[in-house]
Structures are given as structure tokens and as C-alpha cells.
Amino acid sequence: MVFINTVKFVILSLALCASLQNINAEEVHVVGGDFGWAIPLGGPIFYDDWASLQDFEVGDILTFNFTNGEQDVARVTKEAYLSCNTTNPISLKNTSLANFTLDVAGADYYFTSTLDNHCFKGQKLAIHVPGPREPLNYTVGDKLGWVVPPGGESEYEAWAYNKLFLIGDTLVFYYINGTQDVAVVTKEVYEKCETNNTVAVYKSSPTRIILNTTGEYFFTSTYTDHCALGQKLAINVTVNSSTGTALSPAEALSPTTNIGPSASALSPFSSAPSMVPFGYMVTIVSFGFAFII
């Protein structure tokens, strides 16, 4: 009997690995972690605590891992969740592994079990998927502003390093008129500091540039040696998770202050679907075979 249960566990572990490996999503969240989807000993606070440690985004997957025939998972309304009324769920799955895609930004999702008293005993989960954040204004260089940096180009690299630039954000360049300008350039011009060929040049502070296409943006100054001395900035712009389709480069280049990267000159941002690490798969399978030994 122990051997049969162990074999079932190994098969379930392999199924979990295969399921996670085949899901091309931002992130896969296995509900309850190692505990899985069952009646928790500590009541509903168990799943509340688990959810509080997760960062949910649109496109993520919730995976419910449970023993078939002993559990099910129902997506329900908020009212049904609060009252544990499971007679009319939005959807119901009774086969593990059960996957739910979080496909709506700014939405609340509620899950429980339809089996007797499971909801009342704490087998319930409520999560919130944040909506897209509001556009931000970034002051380039912060207090330093837009000048020839004393520490060279690494100062602007450090400024941009920990920032997430999204479509709709605005870069604000502060400088003294007549001593600086802001040039939007291609990657090649940025790297070689040949500023006689620019996409656009702005000479009035503060210069506000709206980031309205995805991809890489490159900025420098056309003043003599300013680029070579480190007055240059490179950033990468990504899509706000649910802002819709980005503008094409042609649309973005129409207004003078709404500059987007040229499709031919700048490399577009790309991201591969996240994959479950192989080491994680090996850990699960090894744990299962340990029971046999």
C-alpha cells in the first residue's frame, strides 16, 4: 500500500513538473506552496499569508495541486466566498493540476472548495491582481540634473539602473539654457558620440520627453565633448502590463515632445516566456523517489 501511494506521488510530481514547464506565462504560482490545496490546519489565514507573499500580475497562472476525488477548486464571487455559498460557482475544476489564468488587471479573484464544510474550515483563497500603474515623471539625474557628470557616464547609468520605464512615463531634463541641450540619437551615434546626426534636439529647459513606444532610447548633448565626457543616457522602455497596444514608431514621432525609438535604428525590447528551472523539477522528482528508497 505504501509503495502504491509512493508511486502515485511520483507520478503526480512528474505531472506537476510537466504542467509548469509547458505554461508560458509571466509566472506560475503553486497555491499553498508545498502544502498544496487542502483544508489548512490554521484556517483561512494560511492561504491569506501565502497570497501576501506573492506578486500577482496579469497573465500569471494559479496552479492548484490536490488529490483527485478528495478536493476540487471553484472560482466564486466575493459574496459566495464570504458566505461560503458554493452552490453556483463561476467555474469548477475537480482534476489536478487545475490552472487558472489571471487575465484581468485590477480584478479580485476568489476560490474555494465545494466539498462539505471545506470552505468553512479555511480552504479558501482571495487574491488581487493590480492594475497598471499611473505614468511617472522621472527627473533625469535627480539633483544632478542634465550636465556633464563629474563621475562620467556611469552616473547616468547608475541613475537609470534601478528604474522601470513604462510606456506613458516622461523623462524631464533640467539644465541651464544655452549651456546644454538634449539630443535624441540612435544607438550607433550614442556609442560613437558622433552628434552631427540626431533624431531630435531640444534646447529649452525643462525638456519633457514622453516615452510612448517600447524599446531602447538614447540621449546625449550636441555640445562639444559633452557626450565623450559622459553626458549620455540609455534606457529601455517596456509595456505597462495592461495598457493595451503600444503606438507604432510612426505614430510616436509625430509630436515633437513625444519621441519614440526608430524601428530601424533602435533595438526593440523583447522578452522570452518564463520557464520553470530544471533544478526545481529535479528537486520534486528526487523528493518523490526518496519515499521509495
Question: What is the per-residue pLDDT for 267?
Answer: 33
Report the pLDDT averaged over residues 221-246: 81
pLDDT in tens, 158-217: 999 989 999 999 999 999 999 999 999 999 999 999 999 999 999 999 999 999 999 999
Q: At 249, phi and psi to the nearest 5?
A: -55, -35
Report the pLDDT averaged over residues 262-290: 37
Give CA–CA dist 71/291, Å, rounded.
23
Give CA–CA dist 277/259, Å, rounded.
38
Mean pLDDT of the chain, nearest integer: 81
| Predicted confidence (pLDDT) at residue 32 exceeds the cutoff of 60 | yes
All structural domains of the chain with their residue ranges: 2-131, 137-252
Is there a shared CATH topology between the 2-131 domain and the 137-252 domain?
yes
> What percent of the chain has a predicted confidence (pLDDT) above 90?
67
Q: Which CATH architecture fits 2-131?
A: Sandwich (2.60)
pLDDT band, residue 238 (cuts 50/70/90): confident
Give CA–CA dist 276/28, Å, rounded.
8
Q: Report, in angstroms and rounded to the nearest whole number, the Rg of the chain calculated over CA atoms.
A: 26
Question: What is the per-residue pLDDT for 268?
Answer: 31
Question: What is the per-residue pLDDT for 29?
Answer: 97
Report the pLDDT averaged over residues 126-155: 94
Question: What is the per-residue pLDDT for 19?
Answer: 47
Q: How many CA atoms lie within 13 A of 112 on its CB side?
A: 28
Give the CATH fold of the 137-252 domain. Immunoglobulin-like (2.60.40)
Report the pLDDT averaged over residues 262-283: 35
Q: Range with the lowest mean pLDDT among 2-11, 56-65, 269-278?
A: 269-278
Report the pLDDT averaged over residues 72-80: 97
Please list, in sequence order, all residues whose beta carbon lies within 8 angstroms of the beta carbon of residue 20, skipping any fewer than 6 positions away.
Answer: 28, 30, 63, 276, 280, 281
